[in-house]
Amino acid sequence: MRPNIVTEAGLQTRAGQWWESIPFLTSAVVVVCGVIYLVCLLSGYDSFYEICFLPTAVVSHFQVYRIYTSILFHGSVLHVLFNMLALVPLGSELERIMGSIRLAYLIILLATTNAIFHLFIALLVAHNPFHPYPYLMNECAIGFSGILFSMIVIETSLSGVQSRSVFGLFNVPAKWYAFILLVVFQLLMTNVSLLGHLCGILSGFAYIYGLFNFLMPGASLFSAIEASSWLSSCVRRPKFILCTGGSPTSYIPTYSGQNTTSSGLLTGNIWRNLSSWMPQRETSAQAEQDYRFPGRGRSLGSGQSETVPAVNSDSNLQARLLDNSNPDLSSHLGVTATREPLLDGRSSVAGNAVGATLGRPALLQHPAPSEEQIQKLVSMGFDKTQVEVAISAADGDLNVAVEILMSQQG
C-alpha cells in the first residue's frame, strides 16, 4: 500500500506543479471551457446550433454574440481536451511575453477578426457569379481551435525557428507549419471546420504583419486596467503577469542559437514587432528588486571572454562601450555579460557589457556584424553605431545585443 500512496502523492504533486506553472489567463480559459463543457454534458444541453458561429444567422439576424460563444463551447470530450492541451503551451508562452491583460485583448481581437474573415469568405463563395456554393453560409462552427491556429502563427513567428516538427514525424519550414497542420487535421479528423481554421491562420498572419496595429491600444491603457480596483483581486494572484513585466512569477522567454526571439509586431519587420508588446524592463533604480531571473549567473559570449567581478566598473565600461563618441572602442575589448546579485541573494540579468582587457590581440577580436543583423536592430529604433558595437560585444548573439541596448536605454 505504501508504494501506491507514494506514487499517487508524487503524481498529485507533479500535477499541482504543472498547473501552478500555467499563467493566470491561460489557466482561466482552460477552466472556463472545461466547466462549460461539463455543465452542458451534465445538463444534457446539445443545442449547439443556437450558439455556434453560423454566418447566415449573423447576417440575417445580426446575432453577433455567436462570434464569442462559439469559441467557448465544444462538441465532445476529445474536442475540448485536445484544444485545451494545445492552448496550455501556446497561451503560456504568449502570456509571459505579452502579459495577461494584453493576451485577453488579443484573444478577443482574434475571435472577432476570425469571424470577419469567416463571414467574408462564406459570403464570397456563396454569391460568386461563377459557381455559387451556399454550404459555407450554413456551416455551424464551434471550438477554440480557430484561436489556436492564430496563436500557432504568432508563436512560430516570435520563436524565430526555421523549421518545425509535425508530431515528431517530419520537419517542415516554419512559415508553412500552420498550413501543414491545417491539412493534416482535415485529413485525419471528421467534422473539422476547414474555413474556421483557415481564418485563424489568416488572422495570425495579419497580426504579425502589423495589419491590426491600429486596433491595439498602448501600454498605458493596459497598465490603467491592471491598476483598476475591480481587477485588483486578479492582479494580486501570483500567476497573473503584468503587461509591464512586473509580476515576480513571470519571465521573458529567450532563445539562443537558431531559436532567436523576435521583437515585435509592426508592419514588415518581425524584430520590430515584439518590442512593442514585450514587457519592458524595470528602470535601473528598480533593477535590484527584479525577481524574474532567479538562479546563478553564467558568462555569455565566446569562450575566451573573461568576467570582471567589479560591477561598478562594468557599468562604466558599458557606458564607454556604447558611447557614440567612441565607436571604435569595441574593437579593443573582449566582452561578456554578467548578472548582478540582488539584495536577497538571487541573480538578475543585468545585460551589462563587461570588458575583459584592453589591447587584446587581433586574433581574439570579435567578427564584424553582418548588415542583416544591424538592420534588424536598427529597425527596432536603436542607433546604428550603438547596434554595431553591441553586436560585436555580444559576439554576434542578437539576444545579448538587445539586452545590452535596452539596458543602456534604461
Q: Which of 74, 79, 118, 197 is catalytic?
A: 197
Specify the domain boundaries for CATH 1.10.8 within the chain. Answer: 371-408
Chain segment 101-148, per-residue pLDDT in tens: 999 999 999 999 999 999 999 999 998 888 888 888 999 999 999 999
Helices and strands (H and E) in the chain: how many: 16, 6
CATH class of 371-408: mainly alpha
3-state helix, strand, coil in the chain (%, to 5): 55, 10, 35
Q: Is 100 a catalytic residue?
A: no
Q: Compute, in degrees rounded to 10, the torsion defined by CA atoms 260, 266, 269, 274.
A: -10
> Does the pLDDT at position 293 exceed 90?
no
Range among 95-104, 256-265, 266-275, 361-370 rated most confident? 95-104
The better pLDDT of the pair 173, 410 is held by 173
CATH classification for the domain delimited by 23-236, as one of 1.20.1540.10, 3.30.360.10, 3.40.50.150, 3.40.120.10 = 1.20.1540.10
Question: Position of cell 495577461?
Answer: 100
Report the distance separating Cα 378 and Cα 367, nearest Å: 19
Q: Is 70 a catalytic residue?
A: no
Where does the pLDDT of residue 197 fall: very low under 50, low under 70, confident under 90, or very high at 90 and above? very high
Q: What's the pTM value of the predicted model, to 2 decimals?
A: 0.60
Where does the pLDDT of residue 310 fall: very low under 50, low under 70, confident under 90, or very high at 90 and above? very low
> What is the predicted pLDDT for the residue at 367?
63
Q: Which of 145, 157, 250, 262 is catalytic?
A: 145
Range among 151-165, 283-297, 361-375 rated most confident? 151-165
